[in-house]
Amino acid sequence: GAGVSQSPRYKVAKRGQDVALRCDPISGHVSLFWYQQALGQGPEFLTYFQNEAQLDKSGLPSDRFFAERPEGSVSTLKIQRTQQEDSAVYLCASSFGDLNSPLHFGNGTRLTVT
């Protein structure tokens, strides 16, 4: 079956540009997560949705980062006025949301800000 799909796979942005990263989760998965992985680090939590509700956005590094999931399915992570420190792999994951459920990850979007 179809897994979690992310697009684009690679994105190069000039500093100051806005970018939008898309995540299409597995059908029926209520929970959706965004993680950021900087070079040499493990993935770090950004934000979490249960259906369309954003229940935790404590990991978003600044107010330039914004995520939405308006219909409880596809999610978009938007970064405004990108900075070089935003360069990272952005991973999206989804799950059924119950205890013992693993996360199902997409391939990630590698963002490079020049």
Residues in the chain: 114
Minimum Å gap between C-beta 52 and another protein is 16
Nearest in space to 17 (alpha carbons), one of 99, 88, 78: 78
Alpha helices by DSSP H, 34-109: none
Which regions of 10-71 does DSSP assign to beta strands (E)? 10-13, 19-24, 31-37, 44-50, 53-56, 65-68
When binding is defined by CB under 8 A, the residue of 23, 25, 108, 111 that contacts another protein is 108
Question: Could you tell me the two tokens for 81?
Answer: 């006025």
Q: Least CB distance from residue 76 to another protein, whole Å?
A: 19
> 50 with 57: CB under 8 angstroms?
no
Residue 7 sits in the site that holds another protein (CB under 8 A): no
| Binding residues for another protein restricted to 33-72, rule: CB under 8 A | 33, 35, 40-45, 48, 55-56
Token representation of residue 91: 């991973």
Among 12, 20, 78, 101, binds another protein (CB under 8 A): 101
Report helix, strand or coil for 43: coil
Is 91 near another protein (CB under 8 A)?
yes
How many residues in the shown chain lie near another protein by CB under 8 A?
28
Which residues here bind another protein, judged by CB under 8 A?
A: 3-4, 31, 33, 35, 40-45, 48, 55-56, 91, 93, 95, 97, 99-108
